[in-house]
Amino acid sequence: MTVATNQTILVVGGGISGMTAALEAAETGKHVVLVEKNPYLGGRTAQLYRYFPKMCHPTCGLEINLRRLKANPRIQVLTMAEVTGISGTKGDYTVNLKTNPRFVNENCTACGECAKAVTGEVDDAFNYNLGKIKVAYLPHAMAYPQRYVLDPAILGTPDADKAKAACKYNAIDLEQKEETVSLKAGAIVWATGWQPYDAEKLTPYRYGEFPNVITNVEFERLADPHGPTGGKILRPSDGKEAKNIAFIQCAGSRDENHLRHCSRFCCMGSLKQTHYVQEAYGDEGKSTIYYIDIRAIDRFEDFYAKVKANPNVSFVKSKVARISEDKDGNPVCWGVNTEGYVRYSNPHDLVVLAVGMQPSVKGVDIPAEVMADSSGFIMADPANAGIFGAGCATNALDVNRAVQSATAAALRAIQVVNKVARAEA
């Protein structure tokens, strides 16, 4: 049972921004409800292999936040839940939530017997559908809550009974249904994050048609030891080691036909990913970055300079115009190099499209007081009541800046509930 009052801060989205906003608010003594659509917290940050610029693992940063979260009784986490509507005003919102069934209750110890028992498989969303996962699964190794999930596809199959029989703790509950809940909240932090831009819309790059053209988020999963290839950089078509990799910048970003804005993180993302190639294959691993201009802002310039000094990484100042495929299944990049205006057609083992950030604020009834810019990001609005954007729902940001943005949103939300508290005292 979720207890919430009009002094509660509701945080929508449990990625790095939502977790940060929830923790910052709760650690000042506020009551927080954190709503997450997925069965686990961490969002897209959990799906990264490493962070730039320090090249450390996101599991580390997430682990710190999860410890803070577990230690804090003032945060209630609702996973597999979505906001379906908001009504009311600042200091007095009513929020409608829909929770999807996990079919696994709190008894789960994550022993994994149910997954061993079942045979059915579904697409592995955590790995951007690059592989398959059992119908009874733990979303990823670090998942919080550390509880298994049954995919709805299991219902009515023999796997359902097998999973139930395999569970020693009576944790499988096939009777769970979708539920709707209504909550009170004084302030709302909207931290629904981002989606990678749909690469199939970039028709000259033939994503979805050529198996060896993938996106930057998929490449993160390929490099991750917990990913579908166990951390080996193998290309999808034939499982060959991909040693000659092209990175295409501004795939969708800075384009009036796609995303108008610069997504900011993709230059650094690709520079970081050249490290993965170098690490995996040493001097045999070659990376080529096709770019319009590298936007490694402020202190990231050093990182850029280091990558540039690596003889295994080359830079071509040109946005690739189209990709074709040669008889060996190698994607071939076509274009004209702006430095010298030389025409090129370069075959690579694998092409990684550095797709941009699209705000995922669509499909939800956010009240009209929330303003959005021409790209759909939530804008800071001085006349706004008690709903604040945080992280990538407000702008294209890297993890570091998303955390800053979330802290700012938490501060604003705290001020709203403080006013409510004073009025009621």
Partner 1 sequence: MSDMNQQMTARYKNNFLKEIEEQAEMGDWVKMCMQCGVCSGSCPTNFHGGWDHPPQELFMMIRAGKRDEVLSSNSMWQCVSCYNCYVRCPRKVPITHVMHGLAEYAYRLGRAPKMQPTLHLSQTFWNNATKYGRVNEVKLTQSLYFKDGIGSGIKKALEMQSMALGLVKAKRLNPMEAIGGGHKCKDLKGIHAMLAKARELEAKRKGRQPA
What is the number of alpha carbons within 13 Å of residue 216 lying toward its C-beta? 28
Least distance to partner 1 from the beta carbon of 266, Å?
Answer: 14
How far is CA 333 from each of CA 86, 170, 323, rounded to the nearest angstrom?
47, 55, 5
The CB density around residue 345, as the number of other CB atoms within 10 Å, is 12
> How does strand 244-251 pair with strand 350-355?
parallel
| 250, 354, 399, 414: residue in contact with partner 1 (rule CB under 8 A) | 250
| 30, 221, 243, 254: residue in contact with partner 1 (rule CB under 8 A) | 254
Least distance to partner 1 from the beta carbon of 341, Å?
Answer: 5
Give the burial class of 34: count Cβ atoms within 10 A of its Cβ; 0-12 exposed, 13-18 middle, 19 or more buried: buried
Write the binding mask 315 to 344 for partner 1: x where contact by CB under 8 A, - elsewhere: --xxxxxx-----------xxxxx--x-x-
Beta-bridged to residue 73, according to DSSP, are none
Least distance to partner 1 from the beta carbon of 336, Å?
Answer: 4
Least distance to partner 1 from the beta carbon of 410, Å?
Answer: 36
Instruction: Identify which of residues 121 and 334 has a Cβ nearer to partner 1 in the complex.
Output: 334
The CB density around residue 92, as the number of other CB atoms within 10 Å, is 14
Instruction: Identify which of residues 179 and 326 has a Cβ nearer to partner 1 in the complex.
Output: 326
Instruction: Identify which of residues 293 and 424 has a Cβ nearer to partner 1 in the complex.
Output: 293
Q: What is the DSSP string of 21-74?
A: HHHHHHTTT-EEEEE-SSSSSBHHHHT-S--TTT---HHHHHHHHHHHHHT-TT
Least distance to partner 1 from the beta carbon of 361, Å?
Answer: 24
Q: Which of 284, 250, 251, 296 is nearest to 398 (CA)?
A: 296
Site size toward partner 1 (CB under 8 A) is: 21
Q: Within positions 337 to 376, which residues make up the interface with partner 1, using CB under 8 A?
A: 337-338, 341, 343
Q: Within positions 187 to 246, which residues make up the interface with partner 1, using CB under 8 A?
A: 204
Least distance to partner 1 from the beta carbon of 270, Å?
Answer: 16
Q: Within positions 281 to 300, which residues make up the interface with partner 1, using CB under 8 A?
A: 292
Instruction: Identify which of residues 47 and 318 has a Cβ nearer to partner 1 in the complex.
Output: 318
Pair of tokens at residue 32: 């927080």
User: Interface residues with partner 1 (CB under 8 A)?
Assistant: 204, 250, 254-258, 292, 317-322, 334-338, 341, 343
